[in-house]
Structure 1
Amino acid sequence: MMRMIEVMDLVKLYPKRNSKEKIVAVDHASFNVKNGEIFALLGPNGAGKTTTIKSICGLIIPDSGEVRIKGFSVLKERSKALSQISAVLEGNRNLYWRMSVLENMRYFAGIRGKKLNKSHALEILESLGLKDKANQLVHSLSRGMQQKAAIAVCLACDTDVLLLDEPTLGLDVHSAVEFRSILKSLKEKGKTILLSTHDMNLVEAVADRIAIMNKGRIVVCEKKQRLIDVFTARAYKLRLVCDEESKKRLKELGFNGWNEDGNLVELQVNLTSSQKLYELIDTLRSNNIEIESIEKEMVNFEKIFISYTRE
């Protein structure tokens, strides 16, 4: 499968204020985005996501490494590379607010050398539920409508690759859920999407593959379902029958933060292997702590994200 975006050994340093030292914003980051997939780039604030995204868009020149879009180097073949990609930076920063939605679409398509006829523009707007807002000024739209208008501008530019940075920031619940359907529809139309977001529900709903970034490095890059399967296999919920003495022994063993219902204790643990589970059972048995049940826990993606960024 063709690699639409390739980030190879990317490094970006920033000078530290009042010092000769340098801050490492991106530390030898590498990943690729394949044709027709939704790829999520995740990380806590300060992880290096924004610097990486700006490097892909050609807004920042890295200290070393390379970015390619559809095989074209952003540094060496800038115009060819950037002509392959459209970006939405925090939802509406690439829109002129005193122009209508339709005028924005025509303007941005025009500066990319593309002629957008009205009928095609209205088709795009209709697919996003914006047809009746075509002639409305952007500043008068709701935040959710502005997000859709930014996507409409991307589609008007008719590129194969879309880069969406925090597209659900500030959206209400209804608009955020609707946005998931829009992303799935774009994928069905053959678009390749690089998504940077803190919205874990969005990631879990639409992403095919995920890279988690922390302290400038890519700490994991894997298929979403693979990550979920791995963490589900290691997350267990134990129900224990405990009197006050047993609860004291649990604390002495290093367990805490459980839920209690009378003499019933519900304990959640992450174990790296089946052997660890057997060892835990032996430990509880040797301390005369009765096990009522053991079950694998369903894990949401937020827990996976927190686990990797902590580690």
Structure 2
Amino acid sequence: MQRTQARANADATADTVLHVNGLRKTYGEGDDAVTAVEDVSFDVSRGEVVGVLGPNGAGKTTTIKSILGLVVPTSGTVEIAGVNAHERPREVYRHVGAMLEGARNVYWRLTVRENLDYFAALGANPASRERQNRLLSQFGLLEKADDPVNDLSRGQKQKVSLAATFARGTDVVFLDEPTLGLDVEASLELRRELRRLAEEEDITVVLSSHDMDVVEAVCDRVVILSDGSVIADDPVEELVGVFETQAYRVEVEGAVSESVRGTLEARFDAADWMTRGERVAFDVTLTGDASLYDVLDVLRDAGLALSDVDSHDPDLEDVFLSVTEDAR
């Protein structure tokens, strides 16, 4: 899939909060040089929630750290609210919040509320006490407000990090694996809060996660990286729409011969075979001009009776796997 060039090459507008242009990062020199990020460009508008996705080693972390100024890019520019992030970092940082995976994002010796007070004071629009209480309530931390973070569980520490990040009241928030350690209820609450912040408070969120359900539920758009380059940059609905239902779970009565199985695998990518008594079930994926009727013709010619067929609607994970596989 080709990325949307118009979006990547568009000039920053008044509504653009984050403008990344030609970002490149190379480690080492000469023959030993390794390029981690190559010509990464994309824009993010105010109030937009954008997912940055990619397999391990795709350049996600380097890209995000380069945007945040934690890594100095070899070339390219990053502008946040129209300000060059690398030339005027202090001015930019007051408008950017971030929660990074694997980092101790809050102070464990302080209480939960002390952390929110501290990080709120660092932001351009610090959260009021009322808003802090709302954040504590949203993340189920109100009863733990006066407890040292060190005494909390891993999931609760993650919630404190999220609450502290939002307490700063910044225009742009970067979240790296935000649902890590969260239970199902907390993860669902985070989804609702992210959408609310974007829609009601015009906060821009850049999200990196392996949890495709969360990405699909909250993101307006996704930028997919592979081998350090952008291979897709499109709204979630458009990406998923490209992969309209062409996958089916088929169940037949009777034994499927090796010859018929080979035909189904070769023509329709049949997989996930399962035998249940006298019935055999398998998945087929249709591409090109192939249709479900072609599958049924093969089954009929083999004397197999169809007992059930279900369509499989693709989700963002299906799209992600297909796009990154095609890019290899």
How do 1:202-281 residues align onto structure 2 when only pairs under 5 Å count? 202-239=214-251, 243-245=255-257, 247-252=258-263, 254=266, 255-257=269-271, 258-261=273-276, 265-273=280-288, 275-277=289-291, 280=294
Counterpart CA distance in 2 for 1:126 and 1:252 is 57
Match of 1:76 in 2: 87
For the residue of structure 2 that corresponds to 1:210, the secondary structure is: strand
Q: 1:109 aligns with which of 100, 117, 120?
A: 120
Matched, 1:154 2:165: yes
From the superposition, tell whether residues 123 and 285 of structure 1 become closer, same or farther in structure 2 (CA, over 3 Å). Answer: closer
Q: Shift of residue 290 of structure 1?
A: 5.8
From the superposition, tell whether residues 118 and 12 of structure 1 become closer, same or farther in structure 2 (CA, over 3 Å). Answer: same
Counterpart CA distance in 2 for 1:128 and 1:91 is 20
Contact 1:144 1:171 in 2 (8 A): yes
Q: 2:144 aligns with which of 133, 140, 143?
A: 133
Runs of 5+ in structure 2 lacking a partner? 1-13
How do 1:282-293 residues align onto structure 2 when only pairs under 5 Å count? 284=298, 288=302, 292=306
Counterpart CA distance in 2 for 1:127 and 1:244 is 53
Matched, 1:2 2:15: yes
Contact 1:249 1:287 in 2 (8 A): no
Q: Shift of residue 108 of structure 1?
A: 2.4
Matched, 1:193 2:201: no
For 1:160, give the aligned amino acid: D
Counterpart CA distance in 1 for 2:112 and 2:16 is 32
Match of 1:66 in 2: 77
Q: Shift of residue 192 of structure 1?
A: 1.3
Q: 1:122 aligns with which of 105, 112, 133?
A: 133
Q: Shift of residue 136 of structure 1?
A: 1.6
Counterpart CA distance in 2 for 1:132 and 1:209 is 36
Matched, 1:164 2:164: no
For 2:324, give the aligned amino acid: T
Counterpart CA distance in 2 for 1:266 and 1:34 is 46
Contact 2:250 2:283 in 1 (8 A): yes
Contact 1:128 1:182 in 2 (8 A): no
82-91 vs 116-125, which moves further: 116-125
From the superposition, tell whether residues 10 and 280 of structure 1 become closer, same or farther in structure 2 (CA, over 3 Å). Answer: farther
Q: Shift of residue 144 of structure 1?
A: 2.5
Matched, 1:307 2:322: yes
Q: Shift of residue 142 of structure 1?
A: 2.2
Q: Once the two structures are superposed, what CA deviation does each residue of 1:221-258 show, in whole Å capped at 9, x if it has no partner?
A: 2111222222233334455566544x413315625533
Q: Shift of residue 38 of structure 1?
A: 1.6
Q: Shift of residue 210 of structure 1?
A: 1.2
Runs of 5+ in structure 1 lacking a partner? none
Q: Shift of residue 287 of structure 1?
A: 5.9
Match of 2:11 in 1: none
Contact 1:91 1:168 in 2 (8 A): no
Q: Once the two structures are superposed, what CA deviation does each residue of 1:130-173 show, in whole Å capped at 9, x if it has no partner?
A: 23322221111222322222222222221121110111122333
From the superposition, tell whether residues 91 and 146 of structure 1 become closer, same or farther in structure 2 (CA, over 3 Å). Answer: farther
From the superposition, tell whether residues 233 and 256 of structure 1 become closer, same or farther in structure 2 (CA, over 3 Å). Answer: closer
CA RMSD of superposed structures (Å): 3.0
Alignment length (residue pairs): 307
Contact 1:144 1:175 in 2 (8 A): no
Match of 2:100 in 1: 89
Q: Shift of residue 41 of structure 1?
A: 1.0
Counterpart CA distance in 1 for 2:324 and 2:124 is 42
For 1:205, give the aligned amino acid: A
For 2:19, give the aligned amino acid: E
Counterpart CA distance in 1 for 2:189 and 2:48 is 19
Matched, 1:12 2:31: no
**What TM-score do you get using the length of structure 2 for normalisation?**
0.80
Contact 1:166 1:198 in 2 (8 A): yes
